[in-house]
Amino acid sequence: MKSKELKVTARCPIRTTTELLGGKWKLLILFQLAPQGLRPSQLKKLIPDISEKMLIQELKKLCDSGLVVRKNYGEVPPRVEYELTSIGHKIMPLIKEMRNFAIEYEKELNINK
């Protein structure tokens, strides 16, 4: 799924979503962009273990799939920010469910230890 081109088909909604959001970073980036638009350097600070190259690559994919938009303010020095689109914002309930699941999972692990 990683470097293949983005396929969006109707065959199965779970696949649509894993193809859009799959990989290690996209959900983390979307989550950081939820409250406000950010420059790449700010994102890098919030997700320290992502490489600059990977960050730019993942942002590009998110823009291509319409979840994020790149804004160039045309200022000097250049100012570029990434923001969620309206459909990008709709990922938040999914992220909330991922969080809920992780909390449940970790509780269960502790019970069984």
Closest Cα to residue 34, out of 81, 84, 85? 84
**Residues 37-76: x/- map of binding to a second copy (CB under 8 A)?**
-----------------------------x----------
- Residue 97 is a binding residue for a second copy (CB under 8 A): yes
How would you classify residue 80: left for phi > 0, otherwise alpha for psi between -120 and 50, otherwise beta? beta
Stretch that binds a second copy, among 37-45, 52-60, 73-81, 102-110 (CB under 8 A): 102-110
The single residue among 7, 24, 60, 71 that binds a second copy, judged by CB under 8 A, is: 24
For a second copy, the closer of residues 68 and 91 by Cβ is: 91
Quote the CA–CA distance of 106 and 70 in Å, as a whole number. Answer: 36
Q: Which of 63, 68, 103, 104 is nearest to 86 (CA)?
A: 68
